[in-house]
Amino acid sequence: MEKEKNIKIHETAFVTSTFRSFDENLSHDNFAKLWQNPTTEQWIKEYLEQVSSEETYTHCLRNRYFLDRIKDLLNNEEIEVLINFGSGFSMYPFLLDEKLINIEIDKPEIVDYKKTKIIDWQKENLLPKRNIHFIGVDFSENYEEDLLSKIQSIKANKPSFILVEGVLFFLDREETDNLFNFFNIIQKSGDYIGSASFQETLKETHAFRNLLSFFNQKVSKTNENDYQTIQDDYYKSKKNYKLIDHQDYFSLSKKYGNKIKQSEELILNENFYLLKKI
């Protein structure tokens, strides 16, 4: 039973990375394709048909937005460390300059698997060498003390960018508050957070109802309250942080010249926030 659950967790991360490989011009991720496999492709085929055919482009643009923001900040020497919470199988370390220090945090089975695959691909020269530290953590558990000491031993006083994307939807509000409190502890003034989440209006869309019935069929029985949405105010009222950019699928489509194919009702419109610590 537990094993089956783990495979399912893996699958959401596989799916996200595979979407990014479907339009490399948009995602600017030329390594995501390494995660492709027949099981995920079958999942994606059904997901695009039954949930929303726009999902390839929403995922590509999310990657592109955060990649470009992190790249700019790294070029301007504003950050030295990227800490990715719920990193899944995203490939940012390989898409960014080798001087960046990367900390990837996810459930232990995910980071262990990712690490093994990355070492194999580096041996085969499919991936360049990078400075990456993998840490296995479950955000539903009591992780703060141990994680803090691990992160501090790597990051010390260096400026950081924290990324949390594709994760908050699956966490509850208390777990989310704990994460943001933790971010505040490890960051100093001038550091950044990039966060992706959905707004409450998502739940009124046809696409969300499709998603719910798809998950209920394929993953486990859930209802709409099992998926967290977050309003702009959550970010605007964060003590010690200033919201400096806010985008969504529609604004990013304009910015990057992506032609929107479906009606709003059939799109899972994700919002993207950039916060700077004051």
List, in order, residues 6 or more apart from 64 with CB less than 8 Å away.
Answer: 26, 27, 28, 252, 256
Question: Minimum distance from CB of 253 to ligand SAM (Å)?
Answer: 18
Nearer to ligand SAM by Cβ, of 41 and 240: the residue is: 41
Round to whole Å and give the CA distance between 206 and 40: 24
Question: Minimum distance from CB of 77 to ligand SAM (Å)?
Answer: 25
Nearer to ligand SAM by Cβ, of 137 and 151: the residue is: 137
Question: Minimum distance from CB of 56 to ligand SAM (Å)?
Answer: 14
Nearer to ligand SAM by Cβ, of 52 and 90: the residue is: 90
Question: Minimum distance from CB of 166 to ligand SAM (Å)?
Answer: 3
Nearer to ligand SAM by Cβ, of 75 and 140: the residue is: 140
Residue with the shortest CB distance to ligand SAM: 88
Round to whole Å and give the CA distance between 148 and 274: 22
Residues found near ligand SAM in the complex (CB under 6 A): 9, 12-13, 16-17, 86-88, 90, 106-107, 110, 137-140, 165-167, 170
Nearer to ligand SAM by Cβ, of 92 and 241: the residue is: 92
Contact 143, 173 (CB under 8 A): no
Provide the token pair at 197. 């989440």
Q: Give the Cβ contact number of residue 44 at 10 Å.
A: 18
Nearer to ligand SAM by Cβ, of 39 and 263: the residue is: 39
Cα torsion through 211, 235, 17, 93, rounded to 10: -170
Question: Minimum distance from CB of 65 to ligand SAM (Å)?
Answer: 12
List, in order, residues 6 or more apart from 160 with CB less than 8 Å away.
Answer: 79, 80, 81, 82, 83, 186, 187, 191, 192
Among 69, 29, 5, smallest CA distance to 273 is for: 69
Provide, for the chain, the percentages of residues in helix, strand and coil under a 3-state DSSP scheme, each rounded to the nearest 5.
55, 15, 30
Question: Minimum distance from CB of 53 to ligand SAM (Å)?
Answer: 18
